[in-house]
Structure 1
Amino acid sequence: MSKTRNGNFFEDFRVGMKLRHATPRTLTEGDRSLYIGLTGSRAVLGTAETNARQLGFERRPLEDLLVFNTAFGKTVPDISLNAVANLGYAEVRFRAPVFPGDTLAVESEVIGLKENSSRKSGVVYVRSTARNQHGREVLGWIRWVMVHKRDPGAACGDALVPATQPVVPAGQLACGDYDARIAEIPSMTGVADLWDDYAVGERIDHPGAMTINDSDHSIATRLYQNTARAHFDGHAMAAGGGRRLVYGGHIISVCRALSYDGLENVLSILAINGGSHVNPTHAGDTIACATQVIDKIDLGQRHVAGLRLRTIGVKNAGTQAIAFAEPGQGRPAHPPEVVLDLDYTIAMPKRQH
């Protein structure tokens, strides 16, 4: 008998396998404060109770990416403890706000598998769902992760790569109900730009940059209870000739915080349509980002509409290194300084006429 928990390796997964992840997690105001300390988040609804009440909420919700990263962390011991790297996301839907005191429980289903040609690892595709203490789904997503094999010679079944939606359709976006008070947001941010003021194709170079310290990404992965060896175990990474990787969700959170300048009046993230961690990030790297408006979306609401955005993050370079493809052109291959390419949809107030 053995109680050693070595996690799942690639050959342990089967399409259709369902996993109920331990343990449910109650999020608190302390989690919010630590998240702000790690990322510098200035999201309006998450910054002050007075902001949230003035804009029509009974209390301020937790930041979307704090919720996502916490729910993601629940899946790690079962799915990516033995990961080489997390590769990408699709169909991430934020379905309901989460408040301090809410408890999240997460389940996953394996929806695809593909062994790599080296036979040393393979890619695992999973669909995960987070629910609150009332059983309501608050978040769902697909991700794919490269996982080591325990035995390179182990036989694996036929490859199955699931089809994913390139964009979460407008009809599947859960925006919530906002009233006319939401138009008061410029009085809090000091910036008048609302949904009407953004144009498709517009580029926003965010002026800030943030250096990732060893303590930053170490504390972040602990906050999310993300126990993947690639982030935690420097000895194991050095034995393989590498260094600890910064968790990709932390890079997304940092870029979201940096993008506040230019997108001050964002209310929430409605969906992540797709995302890739293009190159690794390590402690000491400095992150900067730029955003392009891909589309403007009618959500069928009087006071709020959607913007589909593409944010590209780079390490140790200015935003001049970021190239967005022109309309109608294919996306160019990314240079080595690009670490994140994120396609997501946000909610923003419309100008009241």
Structure 2
Amino acid sequence: MKTGPGRFFEDYRLGEVIAHAVPRTVGAGERALYHALYPARGAVHSSDEFARSVGLAASPLDDLIAFHMVFGKTVPDISLNAVANLGYAEGRWLKPVWPGDTLRAVSEVIGLKETSSGATGLVWVRTRGLDQRGEVVVEYVRWVMVRKRRREVDVPVHVPELAPVVAPETLVVPEGLDFSRYDFALAGERHRWGDYRPGEIIDHVDAVTVEEAEHMLATRLWQNTSKVHFDVGQREDGRRLIYGGHVISLARALSFNGLANAQFIVALNGGAHANPCFAGDTVRAWTEVLDRAEVAAPGVGALRLRLVATRGEAGALRGADGKYLPEVLLDLDYWALVPT
């Protein structure tokens, strides 16, 4: 056979290292499409002049472009036969990605566990995105629920221990970044690091209704080939599942209203796609400030933020039973760099 059906749960081996195809050179075109698909307008990622004013050589590509590109490369090997992408942990952005960089991805299988249904299993992988120099630009752990080819399989069980939060002292600040002369007027808001308090809830006010064509265009842009995003025959309800990363970028872009100065995502502490998103859903976003930390760069501080994408109201996350409310789509815990 010349074609392949993708991997099933029993095809993974603990400790296996998978080099993913195909390397991709990224540029200004990806930036333009990203800003067309999402209402993204962070100043550092929009303007070379603004980026130079904060110590960078030019405007890097949006942090989530690197994430999506690397994620998409892993799909044929990790989640082509996935039922759902369940969560993230221990994510770090280690270097900015610039127009002209070439990205590739490598994953290591770090956990396996059969689910109680017997029809699927959980696969944990640690993925690293590398540039043309072999330097890691982004890394993260994710776990997916993958279909089994047959129920009767013997797979060793190993559930990895994952850190609940990326330690702030390990956050990597882009080389040369200096917010000491930060232009708040050009950035769009006056709020700085000291204006945010742990426990504060920010309703980002705006909303975006997800369209079928847009989410499929976005998923193709990232070269994500997961069947559930395109083929209506993959689900019993005949609906295309929205790629979770599409929801992440929508929520991140919506968070500009209230967090315009959160210029860089530098770590992903944890995340869950709480409920499926489908075309026609109207996505809103709210943020809870979880923590603050100092970093070793002029005028720069870090905020730990919980970003929630929802079809419901700001501040509503879980019910009395402790489970996510049905309207909650995404619960993402991350560190961002802001001016002090």
TM-score normalized by the length of structure 2: 0.96
CA drift of 1:16 comes to 0.9
C-alpha contact (below 8 Å) 2:88/2:143 kept by paired residues: yes
Report the Cα offset of residue 3 of structure 1: 1.1
Task: Determine helix, strand or coil for the equivalent of 2:261.
Answer: coil
Alignment correspondent of 2:301: 305
Deviation of the 1:311 alpha carbon: 1.2
| Distance in 2 (alpha carbons) for counterparts of 1:190 and 1:22 | 39
1:208-219 to 2 correspondences below 5 Å: 208-219=206-217
The residue number in structure 1 matching 2:322 is 332
The equivalences for 1:276-295 within 5 A come to: 276-295=272-291
> Are residue 188 (structure 1) and residue 186 (structure 2) matched?
yes
- CA-based RMSD of the aligned residues comes to 1.7
One of 250, 266, 269 as aligned partner of 2:265 = 269
Which amino acid letter does the alignment assign opposite residue 75 of structure 2? Answer: V
1:69–1:182 distance in 2 versus 1, CA, 3 Å? farther
2:144 corresponds in structure 1 to 145
Report matched runs for 1:88-107 at 5 Å: 88-107=87-106
Q: Is the 8 A contact 1:292 1:324 kept in 2?
A: no
Which residue of structure 1 lines up, in the alignment, with residue 132 of structure 2? 133
Q: 1:253 aligns with which of 239, 242, 249?
A: 249
Q: Deviations over 1:147-194 (max 9, x none)?
A: 0111123x1223211000100011221012456555323031242111
Listed as ranges, the gaps of 5+ residues in structure 1 are: none
Residues 144-183 of structure 1: pairs in structure 2 closer than 5 A: 144-153=143-152, 155-178=153-176, 180=178, 182-183=180-181
Match of 2:201 in 1: 203
Mapping of 1:318-329 within 5 angstroms? 318-319=313-314, 322-323=316-317
- Structure 1 residue 318 displacement after superposition: 3.3
Contact residue 178 and residue 303 of structure 1 kept, 8 A: no
Q: What secondary structure does 1:23 align onto?
A: strand
TM superposition shift of 1:233: 1.2
Native 8 Å contact 1:178 1:304 kept in 2: no
Question: Conserved in 1, the CA contact under 8 Å of 2:179 and 2:339?
Answer: no
SS of the residue corresponding to residue 21 of structure 2 reads coil
Counterpart for residue 112 of structure 1:
111
SS of the aligned residue for 1:92 comes to strand
Q: CA deviation at 1:319?
A: 2.4
- Partners of 1:166 and 1:273 within 8 A in 2: yes
Structure 1 residue 236: Cα displacement:
2.9
Kindly indicate whether the alpha-carbon contact (under 8 Å) linking 1:217 and 1:250 is maintained by their aligned counterparts in 2. Answer: yes
1:10 aligns with 2:9: yes
Structure 1 CA distance, aligned partners of 2:297 and 2:30? Answer: 32
CA distance in 1, matches of 2:220, 2:177: 38
Taking structure 1 as the reference length, what is the TM-score of the superposition?
0.93
Give unmatched runs, 5+ long, in structure 2: none
For residue 79 of structure 2, what is the amino acid of its counterpart? S
How much has 1:287 moved relative to structure 2? 0.4
Letter in 2 for 1:255: A
> Which is further off, 183-192 or 251-260?
183-192
The aligned amino acid for 1:337 is E
C-alpha separation in 2, matches of 1:331 and 1:220:
35
Q: Give the whole-Å Cα distance in 2 for the aligned partners of 1:331 and 1:258.
A: 29
Task: Determine if the alignment matches structure 1 residue 341 to structure 2 residue 331.
Answer: yes
Task: Measure, in 2, the Cα distance between the counterparts of 1:179 and 1:134.
Answer: 22
Superposed, 1:27-38 pairs within 5 Å as 27-38=26-37
Matched, 1:72 2:71: yes
**Matched residue pairs, number?**
340
